[in-house]
């Protein structure tokens, strides 16, 4: 609405500038703050769970509270950390800058999207403090456990959980509409589809996947809420409902959601790796096509979460096949990333370290995913710590390693100052080592038959052995280390906003359009609307004097 240079957005009061701003950069930063604070909440929940698991005799958490913490940890980390940072922050901040637009297509819708998200977050936090406590039916909210308040003893906690998720979905839908409309209609002159930075491609793919998959889950959530509030029986067997259908409808969205989080994470890597290796990206179009194929496949793999749910066994084989199939396009993208670094002159910045760390850890997650995806193997390891280890090896790299890589990379553009590199490296090593020490032993626990979501494993004899106990204690110490390892980041982040070294326009000597404007960019982003002459990864081009060639600089300008 404000696209053609309307003056409507010339806002200067404090409220309009920092709080109720419709500027995509401010909204992106608001999402970042929200995501980081919620990450802290999720981390603290994880600490209490780990303490309970290592020393069950300490009775840190009662089983009910433990269930609530498991549920809320999952919900917060996926929906209120990964989504706001990877889509809300990077998507909102970068898409208009990278395509050379002055803002989103619908700036006020964008603001509404953030504040809807914010209210959703508040409701979720609030649910801890209502009588009965927070939702305790797992982040998947499986019916019939979730369908009647008496089953978990949680009444309003779970209702609020559904409401806050509904607000979150509505917010991301608004964001997705904005992303798509912006990228389709507002690209700068010369920015054809195959000159778009891969980050934009990944954000768009994620937005499309989200918009097309979330519907059935919204439907199921409304029906579940009716079951709880009105007394209908959509998912209650005694009243003619079928709880299995909840699982189907949840995972129809729940699985694509993994890719909604993962693809923007990949987008971060695909920007950092070429800039950090001073080489063009390997297989630009192949990466795009692979992503699209993976996007299509992501809609037909969901039932691999349900091999032991009692669903029709005839469905297992088709879903096993599609699940293993989807690893092919992702493997292609990973290989393209590795080939991009191959023989490059690598600049091992903190952002680059985190990017490489993402690759290494995600690879483990991907490979173990093939175990889980095969129905025969899954029957053995289903619902054990093997699965916990697996999905932390996929989602932690996307949510944290890739997000940290992105934060270290785009911090100068967001705040106009540099993060301290030395402390960044310390943060990287603490996170990388800490993460692997926490989750690698969990594979072993899973193979030993250790079930998930147990508040007190020692109630089983086979989980009371000295070996299992010492592993649990080891994991807990590692997790404490991982949490403490975030302190350098927090201090570095807060300190650098006010006292960091002032950033220049293009500190990483990268090519995409956001580096061709001031740091931080002014309202309206560009002094002169850029014209795009090249694809975004023109590093070490023999035609140019320097080893980078910004997208908006024509070769004639440089050579003459």
Partner 1 sequence: MHGTQANVQPRPEFGKLGMWWFLASEIMTFGGFLAVYILYRAASGGGWTETAEHVSIALGSINTFVLLTSSLTIVKSTEAVNQGEYDRAKNYLGWTILLGVVFLAIKGVEYTSEIRHGFTPITNIFWNFYFALTGLHALHILVGIIINLVLYIGAVKGTLWREDLGHRIEVAGLYWHFVDIVWIFLFPLLYLSY
Partner 2 sequence: MATEAHDHPNYFMVWVVLLLLLVVSLAAAYMPFSQTLTVILIFVIAAVKALLVASFFMHLKIEGKLILAIAIVPVILFVIMTISLLPDIVYNPVETATQKLEAPKSTVH
List residues near partner 2 by CB under 8 A.
184, 212, 215-216, 237-238, 240-242, 244-245, 248, 252, 299-300, 303, 310-315
Q: Can you say whether the dihedral through the CA atoms of 132, 138, 142, 144 is positive or negative? A: negative
Q: How far apart are CA 305 and CA 319, in angstroms?
A: 10
Output the six-digit token pair for 186.
């507002």
Partner from partner 2, partner 1, none contacting 518, C-beta within 5 to 8 A by type: none
Told to check if 293 binds partner 1 by CB under 8 A, we report no
- Residue 223 interface partner, choices partner 1, partner 2, none, CB cut-off 5-8 Å depending on type: partner 1
Nearest to 297 by CA among 328, 267, 251, 263: 328
Tell me the C-alpha distance between 27 and 116, whole Å: 12
Question: Which two structure tokens, joined as six digits, stand for 276?
Answer: 């950090």
Cα separation, 328 vs 341, whole angstroms: 20
C-beta of residue 298 within 8 angstroms of C-beta of residue 255? yes
Of 378-417, binders to partner 1 (CB under 8 A) are none
Phi first, then psi, for residue 434 (nearest 5°) are -60, -45
DSSP 414: H
Q: For the chain, how many residues are written?
A: 560
Among 45, 78, 105, 513, binds partner 1 (CB under 8 A): 105
CB of 316 to partner 2, least distance (A): 11
| Among 66, 80, 106, 251, interactor with partner 1 by CB under 8 A | 106
The pair of structure tokens assigned to 453 is 């979501």
Of partner 2, partner 1, none, which one sits near residue 54, judging by CB under 5 to 8 A according to partner kind? none
CA 32, CA 16: separation in Å to the nearest integer?
A: 18
Query: Smallest distance, Å, CB 185 to partner 1?
Result: 5
Q: Which is nearer to partner 2, 119 or 245 (CB)?
A: 245
CB of 491 to partner 2, least distance (A): 46
- 189 sits near partner 1 (criterion: CB under 8 A): yes
Nearest Cα neighbor of 30 from 102, 91, 106, 98 is 91
82 touches, from partner 1, partner 2, none (C-beta below 5 to 8 Å by class): none
If one asks whether residue 232 binds partner 1 (CB under 8 A), the answer comes out as yes
234 binds, among partner 2, partner 1, none (CB under 5 to 8 A by kind): partner 1
Q: Which does 162 bind (CB under 5 to 8 A by kind): partner 2, partner 1, none?
A: none
Smallest distance, Å, CB 158 to partner 1?
19
**Nearer of residues 61 and 105 to partner 2, judged by Cβ:** 105
Q: Which of residues 248-277 bind partner 1 (CB under 8 A)?
A: 249, 252
CB of 552 to partner 1, least distance (A): 11
314 contacts partner 1 (rule: CB under 8 A): no
What is the rounded distance in angstroms from the CA atom of residue 402 to the CA atom of residue 270?
10
Minimum separation from the CB atom of position 209 to partner 2 (A) = 11
Ranges within 193-222 binding partner 1 (CB under 8 A) = 211-220, 222
13 binds, among partner 2, partner 1, none (CB under 5 to 8 A by kind): none
Q: What token pair was written down for 238?
A: 């005694």
Nearer to partner 1, 223 or 475 (CB): 223
Counting runs of H as helices and runs of E as strands, what totals does the chain give?
Answer: 19, 0
Helices (H), 278-396: 284-297, 316-341, 350-373, 375-381, 385-396
Q: Which stretch binds partner 1 (CB under 8 A): 18-26, 27-35, 104-112, 288-296?
A: 104-112
Neighbours of 105 (CB within 10 A): 21
Minimum distance from CB of 495 to partner 2 (Å)?
46
Backbone angles phi, psi at 531, to 5 degrees: -115, 135
Cα separation of the two ends of the chain: 40
Q: Is residue 463 at the binding interface for partner 1, with CB under 8 A as the rule?
A: no
In the block, tokens 């303490």 appear at 51
**Contacted entry of partner 1, partner 2, none for residue 310, CB cut-off 5 to 8 Å set by kind:** partner 2
- Closest listed residue to residue 423, CA positions, set 347, 477, 490, 481: 490
Residue among 12, 58, 192, 314 that touches partner 1 (CB under 8 A): 192
- Calpha distance 398→262 (Å, rounded): 5
With CB cut-offs between 5 and 8 Å by kind, which of partner 1, partner 2, none does residue 522 bind?
Answer: none
């Amino acid at each position: 609405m404000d696209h053609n240079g309307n003056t409507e957005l010339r806002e200067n009061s404090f409220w309009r500038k920092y709080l109720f701003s419709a500027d995509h950069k401010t909204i992106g930063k608001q999402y970042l703050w929200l995501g980081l604070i919620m990450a802290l909440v999720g981390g603290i929940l994880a600490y209490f769970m780990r303490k309970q698991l290592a020393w069950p005799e300490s009775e840190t958490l009662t089983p009910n509270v433990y269930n609530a913490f498991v549920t809320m940890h999952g919900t917060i980390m996926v929906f209120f950390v990964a989504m706001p940072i990877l889509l809300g922050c990077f998507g909102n901040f970068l898409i208009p800058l990278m395509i050379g637009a002055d803002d989103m297509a619908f700036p006020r819708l964008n603001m509404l999207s953030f504040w809807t998200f914010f209210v959703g977050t508040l409701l979720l936090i609030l649910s801890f403090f209502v009588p009965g406590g927070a939702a305790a039916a797992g982040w998947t909210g499986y019916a019939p456990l979730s369908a009647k308040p008496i089953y978990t003893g949680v009444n309003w906690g779970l209702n609020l959980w559904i409401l806050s998720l509904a607000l979150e979905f509505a917010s991301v839908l608004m964001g997705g509409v904005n992303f798509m409309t912006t990228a389709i209609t507002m690209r700068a002159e010369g920015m054809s589809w195959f000159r778009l930075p891969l980050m934009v491609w990944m954000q768009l793919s994620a937005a499309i996947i989200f918009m097309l998959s979330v519907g059935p889950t919204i439907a199921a959530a409304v029906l579940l809420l009716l079951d709880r509030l009105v007394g209908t029986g959509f998912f209650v067997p005694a009243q003619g409902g079928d709880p299995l259908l909840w699982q189907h409808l949840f995972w129809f969205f729940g699985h694509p959601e993994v890719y909604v989080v993962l693809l923007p994470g990949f987008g971060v890597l695909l920007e950092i790796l070429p800039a950090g290796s001073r080489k063009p990206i390997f297989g630009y179009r192949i990466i795009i096509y692979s992503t699209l194929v993976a996007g299509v496949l992501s809609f037909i793999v969901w039932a691999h979460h349900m091999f032991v749910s009692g669903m029709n066994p005839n469905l297992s084989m088709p879903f096993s096949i599609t699940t293993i199939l989807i690893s092919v396009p992702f493997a292609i993208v990973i290989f393209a990333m590795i080939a991009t670094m191959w023989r490059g002159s690598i600049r091992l910045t903190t952002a680059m370290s985190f990017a490489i760390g993402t690759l290494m850890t995600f690879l483990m997650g991907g490979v173990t995913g093939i175990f889980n995806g095969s129905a025969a193997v899954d029957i053995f390891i289903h619902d054990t710590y093997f699965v916990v280890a697996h999905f932390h090896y996929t989602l932690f790299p996307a949510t944290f390693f890739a997000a940290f890589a992105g934060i270290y990379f785009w911090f100068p553009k967001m705040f106009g100052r540099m993060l301290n590199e030395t402390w960044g490296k310390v943060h990287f090593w603490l996170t990388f080592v800490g993460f692997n020490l926490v989750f690698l032993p969990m594979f072993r626990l899973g193979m030993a038959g250790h079930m998930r979501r147990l508040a007190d494993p020692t109630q089983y004899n086979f989980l009371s052995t000295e070996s299992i106990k010492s592993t649990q204690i080891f994991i807990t110490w590692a997790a404490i280390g991982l949490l403490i390892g975030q302190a350098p980041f927090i201090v570095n982040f807060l300190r650098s906003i006010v006292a960091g070294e002032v950033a220049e326009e293009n500190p990483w000597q990268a090519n995409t359009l956001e580096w061709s404007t001031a740091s931080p960019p002014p309202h309206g982003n560009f002094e002169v609307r850029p014209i795009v002459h090249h694809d975004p990864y023109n590093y070490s081009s023999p035609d140019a004097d320097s080893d980078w060639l910004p997208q908006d600089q024509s070769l004639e300008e440089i050579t003459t």
